[in-house]
Amino acid sequence: MLGPFLEAGDVLGHEPMGVVEEVGAEAGDLQVGDRVVVPFNISCGHCFMCSQGLQTQCETTQTRDAGMGAALFGYTKLYGQVPGGQAELLRVPQAQYGPIRVPDGAPDDRFLFLSDVLPTAWQAVQYAQVPDGGSLAVVGLGPIGEMATRIAQHLGAGTVVGLDLVPERLARSRAHGVEAIDVAAVEDVVGAVRELTGGRGPDSVIDAVGMEAHGAPAAKLAQTAVGLMPDRVARKLMEHAGVDRLAALQLAIEIVRRGGTISLSGVYGGTADPLNMLQLFDKQVTLRMGQANVRRWTDDILPLLTGDDDPLGVDDFASHHVPLAEAPHAYEMFQAKADGAFKVVFRP
- A 10 A CB-CB count for 177 gives 12
Instruction: Decide if pLDDT at 37 tops 80.
Output: yes
Crossing angle for the helix pair 217-227 and 231-241, to the nearest 10 degrees: 150
CA pair distance 335, 146, nearest whole angstrom: 17
Q: Which residues contact 276 (CB under 8 A, 6 or more apart)?
A: 250, 253
pLDDT tens column, 60-111: 999 999 999 999 999 988 899 999 999 999 999 999 999 999 999 999 999 9
CA pair distance 189, 255, nearest whole angstrom: 9
pLDDT at residue 237, as a whole number: 41
- A 10 A CB-CB count for 224 gives 9
pLDDT band, very low/low/confident/very high, at 2 (cuts 50, 70, 90): low
pLDDT at residue 221, as a whole number: 42
pLDDT tens column, 241-251: 445 578 899 99
pLDDT tens column, 106-149: 999 999 999 999 999 999 999 999 999 999 999 999 999 999 99
Report the chain's mean pLDDT, rounded to a whole number: 91
pLDDT band, very low/low/confident/very high, at 224 (cuts 50, 70, 90): very low
pLDDT at residue 230, as a whole number: 56
pLDDT tens column, 253-274: 999 999 999 999 988 877 667 8
Instruction: Decide if pLDDT at 227 tops 90.
Output: no
The topology under which CATH files domain 117-289 is Rossmann fold (3.40.50)
Q: Which of the two residues, 8 and 35, has the higher pLDDT score?
A: 35
Neighbouring-strand partners of residue 207: 139, 264
CA pair distance 251, 183, nearest whole angstrom: 11
Phi-psi sector, 178: left (phi>0), alpha (psi -120 to 50), beta: beta
- CATH superfamily of the domain spanning 3-116+294-317: Medium-chain alcohol dehydrogenases, catalytic domain (3.90.180.10)
Percent of the chain with pLDDT over 90: 81
Closest CA to 209 of 150, 305, 137, 160: 137
Q: How far is residue 127 CA from its own chain's centroid?
A: 13
Radius of gyration of the chain (CA): 20
pTM over 0.85: yes
Domains of the chain, residue spans: 3-116+294-317, 117-289
Q: Report yes or no: 145 and 126 within 8 Å, Cβ to Cβ.
A: no
Instruction: Decide if pLDDT at 18 tops 60.
Output: yes
Residue 318 one-letter amino acid: A
